[in-house]
Every structure is written in structure tokens, then in C-alpha cells.
Structure 1
Amino acid sequence: MSDQVIFPPLHDPAVLTELGSLAARHKAASGLGMQVLGWVGGNAETLLERLPAPVKDRLEAVTRTALENAFSAAARSRGVVSDRPDWLNTALTTAMGAAGGLGGLPGAMAELPVTVTVLLRAIQGIAAEHGFDPAEEEIRLECIRVFASAGPMAADDGTDLAFVSARMTLTGQSVQGLIAKVAPRLAGVLGQKLAAQAAPVLGAVAGAAINYSFTSYYQEIARVHFGLKRLAQTAQLDEGFLREELRARIARKK
């Protein structure tokens, strides 16, 4: 006998409409990043090959450290700085990207952890906007999980949604465990960002464009992530079931 849970088909028009909106938002999220990728030239894989070997070797460790520091710093900042609108977060990271790109690869490396912190703080604000408390450990972990998505310069068919919403025991060890799982994926994404910012001639303009697309992407993905969680609560439906329904709609839109 199978232990698989069989859910009835969805018939609620409001739920179906919201799922369609979330799928459309998910599909549109990568648009700007793919445009920037075409402008810089090549593809995501060739971008990573442009990075010097010492940088590629350190990228995952640097990303993991950035996530760990951002996890603490973003939470602390909530007691000091109120949530900002999307356009202000985007303007801030765009300016930082320009400064980082102006300094070439060393400047981009120095800017990277600051950008990760700002992005995480923006994601926490979106969680609050959807009715979740970013001070709760579970929601702080959910914010980290947003970074498990494919990234703005890759086609994402929704297969990451299962991992992004994976449940973990809420202990100090689980925070480290989650960061360890997310870091390799995010390192690949940030490697593309660094390589593009370090591209000859483009400099500050590339850095600004890349950070604009990254911030827009992760804010949109956060809205999909927390929008789905809120829908599950308001419609009193299983979140895993809705996630499967959303993944199916994303795949159909590809």
C-alpha cells in the first residue's frame, strides 16, 4: 500500500487565479537577468569560466560566510531601520553594484557580502508584507531558502520550489545546515555576477545593471515564496500540494 497522499483537484476560482498570478510572476522574474547576460555576452557557464581560479576556489566559502553574516545583520537591522519599498532596495543595490563594478573584481568581491545582506533584509520585508513575522526563526529560515532559487541568469522550471520550502528542525544546527545547502547554489549565481561585473570596459554600468536585475529577481521570487505560503494559510490547503500545483503551472509556461 502506498503512503502517498492523494489530493483532490482544485476548483476554487480564487485559488486558481492566485496560482496563475504566482506562476506568471515566477516566469517574469528572470527576464532582466537574461537581458543582462545577453548584453555582457556568452552564457552563465562561460561567465563562470572567466573568473580566476583562486576566486572560483574561494567562492563557496565566501558565499557561505556572506550568508551567515547576513542572517545576523539583517535581523538586527530590523530594530533600527524600517522596511523599505522595492524601488529603494533596488536603487541601493544598483548604486552598490556600480561602485563594485568600478573597482573591477576586487571591488565586486568587497561589495558582494553587503549586497547579500541588503537582499536578505529586503526578503524579510516581503515576508512581513505577507503577514509573517521575520523575527520568528522559522520565517528567518524561509528567507534564506529564497536564495535556493536558480538565479536571474538561469531558466528555472520550478523544480527548486520543493527545496526552497523544505522543512527543517529549527535549531542552531539547522541554520548552519540550511546555509550549507544553499551556499553552493548561490555561489554559482554570485559567480556569474562577479564575472559580469569584472568584464572589461563595462565596469560600473555592468555592475549597476547586474545588481538591478539581481534585486528585482530575488524580490519577485520572495513574493512567489511567501505568496504561496499565505495562500496555503488563507485557503486552508496543504502547502506542499499548492507547491506541486504551482510547479506544474510554471512548467506549462516554459
Structure 2
Amino acid sequence: MQPEILLPVTDPALKAALDQLAKRHRAAGGIGMQVMAFVGGSAENLMSKLPQPVRDGLEGATSRALETAFDAAARTRGAVSDRPDWVNTALTTAMGAAGGVGGLPGALAELPFTVTMLLRAIQGIASEHGFDPASDEVRMECLRVFASAGPLEADDGTDMGFLAAKVTITGPGLNSLIAKVAPRLAAVLGQKLAAQAAPVLGAVAGAAVNYAFTSYYQEIARVHFGLKRLARESGEDEGLLREELVARIAPKPKG
């Protein structure tokens, strides 16, 4: 069987919508870069500041945090309504400050709560775009948002290919997805922990990092579910729209 040939998007309204999503994606990491300048050093240098045992156990801790958050975030939907972005950001910023006060131990204790808050915010954005966060499929899609590069690194959009992969919606499927997401998120969270544990900065760094993280993942969620809604409403192939979006996000070659 010949592979399906996907033609480029030509509809002006669709192209304009993709341009807006690309602009949002590029802007998502802006605050993170400012935090990096505030904390000092590079993402790689931040990771090197973590004790080796913490670095070794980070992926496992991230997997456990994702598993806990996957259930906890969904359970809260029946008791707490979706909140505006600024409320989510304010809450996680306060949590980051509290974690930063306690240095690295405090940041580690705060980690699963922040991941749950972030996932809960992402579920709210999915609902805002017309998707049902109570469905297993959408809950999995929310989890995939964590596969993006993170707010403290430049993201050329290539991680969006991961978001297109299909995962069976079963217990093993969830474990498989967490196993794929955890290493990516662990690398990002390691930078967060190191920034919060930075000497002197303490609570201020914790608040700034959590502010950047929440702002970033909420924006990435809007890109992800905005693209899915665009595909649904336009009838265009989602894979094609994703390719078009990545092409708009990727830095243009100099010449």
C-alpha cells in the first residue's frame, strides 16, 4: 500500500491559526530564559550542582510523581472547578517559595504537589478547548504535554513528534507513556530542583522557577490542544498540521 501523501495547508485562515500557535509556542520559554539569567549559569551547570544520589534517583521520583498526579489531578475535578491561568500560577509560585525555603529537601518534598497542580491546570485547558478530561484518552494527552523540552531550554518543536505517537489506553499503556515521559521531565525537574536549592536565593528562586514552569506548561498545553481542536474543526489531518506547526517553530537557517 502506498503511503498517504499529505498536501501542504493552503487555507489562509488555517495558516493564520497555525502562525498564532507557533508564536505562542516560541513565547512559552521566554520567562524561563529570564529565570535562568536570574539564577545564573546554564541548564547543564544547574544539573551538575545536584548531589549524585539525587540525580540518580530523579527519574524514579519523577515516575512516581507522574503516577500520583495522574490520579490525583483527575479526582480533584469533581471537587474543585477549573481555575484561570493566573490562579494556577499564583498557587504553584507560592508552593515553589515554600519548597525553596527548605532548600533541596524542601524542593524534593514539594515536587509531587507541583506536578499534580501542573497536570490539573493542563486538564483544565483541555476542557477549555472542548475535550473531556474525564476520558482516559484526554488524560493521556494531558500527560504527554510534559514531554516538551521545558522552560529552561530552547525548544525547536521537534518534541511535538512525540505527542503524535499513539499509546494504547490501558494500564500497561499508561505505564509505557510514563516510562517515556519520565526521563524527559526528570531532566527538566532536575534543573528546577537545582535552581531552588541555589544558595542565598532560596524561596525567591523557588517562586521564580515555579512561576516559569507553570506559565510554560500552560502555554504548551494551549498549543497542543489548540492544534487538536484546529484539526477537529477544520477536518484536516492532525499529523499534517503538526508538521506545519513544527516547521513554523523551528529556527530558520541563517544565510
TM-score, with structure 2 as normaliser: 0.97
Q: Does structure 1 conserve the Cα–Cα contact (< 8 Å) formed by 2:36 and 2:42?
A: yes
Mapping of 1:1-254 within 5 angstroms?
3-252=2-251
Distance 1:74 1:253, change over 3 A: farther
Q: What is the CA–CA distance in structure 1 between the aligned matches of 2:203 and 2:185, rounded to whole Å?
A: 22
Q: What is the CA–CA distance in structure 2 between the aligned matches of 1:8 and 1:56, rounded to whole Å?
A: 45
Q: Does structure 2 conserve the Cα–Cα contact (< 8 Å) formed by 1:158 and 1:250?
A: yes
Q: Which amino acid aligns with 1:219?
A: Q
Q: Does structure 1 conserve the Cα–Cα contact (< 8 Å) formed by 2:88 and 2:117?
A: yes
Q: What is the CA–CA distance in structure 2 between the aligned matches of 1:70 and 1:233, rounded to whole Å?
A: 28
**How many residues are matched?**
253
Q: What is the CA–CA distance in structure 2 between the aligned matches of 1:9 and 1:222, rounded to whole Å?
A: 24
Q: What is the CA–CA distance in structure 2 between the aligned matches of 1:184 and 1:239, rounded to whole Å?
A: 26
Q: What is the CA–CA distance in structure 2 between the aligned matches of 1:27 and 1:5, rounded to whole Å?
A: 30
Moved over 3 A (4+): none
Q: Does structure 2 conserve the Cα–Cα contact (< 8 Å) formed by 1:34 and 1:154?
A: yes
Instruction: Report sequence identity in percent.
Output: 71
Structure 1 unmatched ranges of 5 or more: none
Distance 1:253 1:115, change over 3 A: farther
Give CA-to-partner distance per residue, 1:167-220, whole Å, 9 cap, x none: 111111100100010000000000000000000000000000000000000000
Give CA-to-partner distance per residue, 1:113-156, whole Å, 9 cap, x none: 00000000000000000000000100000000000000000111
Q: What is the CA–CA distance in structure 2 between the aligned matches of 1:70 and 1:191, rounded to whole Å?
A: 18
CA displacement at 1:9 relative to structure 2: 2.3
Q: Does structure 2 conserve the Cα–Cα contact (< 8 Å) formed by 1:27 and 1:253?
A: no
| SS of equivalent to 1:150 | coil
Q: Does structure 1 conserve the Cα–Cα contact (< 8 Å) formed by 2:8 and 2:240?
A: no
CA displacement at 1:71 relative to structure 2: 0.1
TM-score, with structure 1 as normaliser: 0.98
